[in-house]
Amino acid sequence: MRKLTWLSPILLAACATSQPAEIPVRGEVPGRICNAVGSEHFIGQPATSETGAAILHATHSATLRWAPPGYMMTMEFSPSRVTVRLDPGHKIVSINCG
């Protein structure tokens, strides 16, 4: 019984709760969160590197993903990414975060 007495504090310490460390979401860039509000004026424009750079700047995103018709994309959400969907003529159809 004496052995359990000195072992109890050690066992209780192992069960103590601690604050979990923040683990960034895969693909997330700290400080860069996409916000597509107000990016509608890009719809209908051609998909060029200049337009892409302007979309990145306007949405405060870290990465841009072009999505032409029929393009397979992952479903994982990345808060720092903007996805730009294109029509067959490579004109912008929609702009979404994630």
The domains of the chain, with CATH numbers, are 32-98 (3.30.10.10)
Is the pTM higher than 0.85? The answer reads no
Q: Which residues of 5-23 are buried (b: 16+ CB within 10 A; e: fewer)?
A: eeeeeeeeeeeeeeeeeee
**Structure confidence by residue, pLDDT tens digits, 55-77:** 999 999 999 999 999 989 888 99
**Structure confidence by residue, pLDDT tens digits, 29-57:** 667 899 999 999 999 999 999 999 999 99
Distances 26 to 61, 63, 95 between C-alpha atoms, Å: 15, 13, 21
